[in-house]
A and B are shown apart, each in its own frame.
Chain A
């Protein structure tokens, strides 16, 4: 079972704040899911330890041809808040 501290730590990493009720509910559910996915550890994967990702073709690369920038107004009109062509956000208080 996840402890309160553990789930709070994950909330912090994920930048999702849960209220106390939600935390209680999630703690149980997440613990069940973690219990479930822990079954993976019983699977014998001998021979696949250093397996890279499946790849059956050579990846391609972008050749440098400039272009495709968006109009600024078009981008900014989707933003919750802007100022003088910038995106505006609440103060970045230290440690955030």
Chain B
């Protein structure tokens, strides 16, 4: 059998921590990296007698994601209890929407080699996060409950993804949208965005799903791509050898680049879901949904489309600029105030992105404001300073955050674009080189370069070369 005889079927479950002011069912303020067990209260600790009360903001954020992914928002949804024992779960049940999720039936558009494709979204639901464990092999485990009760949305895709690369493209899109909405910082390494992958293979052309396996603990895009490839290859080998796939859950071990089996189907939990009696069903009316709709900014896909049309940018440029909302917004201010879209795009994509990387900072805290960058671009475009002087000015602006004009003045980089000053200079140079002037007029036009060089030397490089050239042509005559 060859590779094309199997089709890969992938579904993704993304957990995203919402950036709410408080946890989902209590008033604790979540803080990543806080001292262990300092962000807890009777409710999120599940102390005897404590009760959950749903935080409105977490519902609003979940609805935002639902609308952004074109989901239907349920008028009535319901939390259930998912019962399982684990030390990081203080109540030993998770409060999660089960058979009545908040959002259903949406999609995410991704670019593939065969053009754009919609990955369908089955559901988005709310739930509470668990705490964190640290294990030492063979030794006691330690538990920190700070993360307990941080609101999560779980975004469940349909099995529409075919390759590891598509999975990554889908996740990048989801991450982008979460960040555009400002509801999750989408950090895979820190776990504010987590991803579980379900994979199965089936004979090409078949519509039935094969037995699937699950991979957890994928905490980078690279791990996701590799983990998927690894598992697809493994399943293919098993099937080609005439074996059958066992329903297992695997953990990705980034250090060894391997999958480690976590549990088999026989050990699969019986979660004994039932409706959470401490919370009444959640009702969301049209007014609430409309209010949320008004809060949704232009999303990356629409923005990319608009950048192509409005600024005549390429697919590539608009994709790069729109990857981050902050960058896209920055670019727009620059482009609007210079009126030079492509030039602005180049500056943002090269100088700004390089500087951000070097500084390790986000666009929001970048010292050069977009209006100032626009000023700098204008100085170069108007010939006030040369292109290379522009680079020096930019470097200085990053250091001081100063206005480009001030920097130019301070460094004395201003080009001489004043024609009367240049005319005087040209006059004296022509007067000093009568022979060369004579030969030029006799037809040795190449000597114009010599005169331009003289002007540049005289002006210590600050003369606007274009302007100097024109004055020389005029003054030397023909």
Contact with B along A56-83 (1 / 0, CB 8 A): 0011111111111110100110000101
- Does residue A15 face the partner (Cβ distance < 8 Å to B)? yes
With A53-B280, A75-B40 as known contacts, state yes or no: A65 contacts B28, CB within 8 Å: no
Main SS at interface, chain B: loop
A86 with B37, Cβ < 8 A, contacts A53-B281, A64-B20 known: yes
In this complex, how many residues of chain A approach chain B with their Cβ under 8 Å: the count is 35
CA distance A64 to B30 in the complex (A): 12
Q: How large is the interface on B (under 10, 10 to 19, 20 to 34, 35 or more residues)?
A: 35 or more
User: Assuming A52-B76, A67-B27, A72-B40, what are 5 further A-B pairs, CB within 8 angstroms?
Assistant: A53-B277, A62-B27, A69-B39, A87-B142, A96-B85
A70 with B42: CB separation less than 8 A? yes
Closest Cβ of chain B: how far from A36's Cβ, in Å?
Answer: 21
A75: chain B residues at CB < 8 Å are 37, 40, 45
Tell whether B41 is near chain A: CB-to-CB under 8 Å.
yes
Kindly state the separation between the CA atoms of A76 and B40 in the bound complex, as whole angstroms.
Answer: 11
A13–B141 CA distance with the chains assembled, in angstroms:
22
Are B38 and A86 in contact, CB atoms less than 8 angstroms apart?
no
Complex Cα–Cα for A76 and B35 (A): 13
Q: Do the beta carbons of A63 and B56 come within 8 Å of each other?
A: yes
B143 at interface, CB cutoff 8 A: yes
**Pick the contact of A87 from B21, B143, B267 — CB < 8 Å?**
B143
Provide the residues of chain A in CB contact with B145, threshold 8 Å.
87
Interchain CB contact under 8 A, B26 and A89: no
With A69-B29, A86-B142, A95-B263 in contact, is A59–B272 under 8 Å at CB? no
Which of A53, A65, A90 touches B22 (beta carbons < 8 Å)?
A: A65
Q: Is the CB of A52 within 8 A of B281?
A: yes
CB < 8 Å: which of B40, B87, B280 contacts A69?
B40
A66, B29: Cβ atoms closer than 8 Å: yes
Residues of B contacting A59 in the complex (Cβ-Cβ under 8 angstroms): 54, 279-283
Residues of B within 8 A of A69 (CB): 28-29, 38-41
Contacts from A to B (Cβ < 8 Å):
13, 15, 52-53, 55, 58-70, 72, 75-76, 81, 83-92, 94-96
Give the Cβ gap from B108 to chain A, nearest Cβ, in Å.
Answer: 28
Nearest B residue to A68, CB-CB: B27
Chain A residues positioned under 8 Å from B209 (CB to CB): none
A52–B76 Cα gap in the complex (Å)? 10
Q: Contacts A59-B280, A67-B29, A68-B28 hold; do A85 and B36 have CB atoms under 8 A apart?
A: yes
- In the bound complex, residues from chain A placing their C-beta under 8 Å from that of B267 are 95
CA–CA, A9 and B59, complex, Å: 37
Chain B residues positioned under 8 Å from A87 (CB to CB): 37, 87, 142-145
A61: contacting residue among B55, B135, B138, CB under 8 A:
B55
Is residue B53 contacting chain A, with contact meaning CB distance below 8 A?
yes
28 residue pairs from A and B, CB less than 8 Å apart: A52-B78, A53-B275, A53-B281, A55-B280, A59-B279, A61-B53, A61-B56, A63-B57, A64-B21, A64-B57, A65-B22, A65-B27, A66-B27, A66-B29, A67-B27, A68-B26, A68-B28, A70-B42, A72-B35, A75-B45, A85-B36, A85-B37, A86-B143, A87-B37, A87-B142, A88-B142, A89-B142, A95-B267
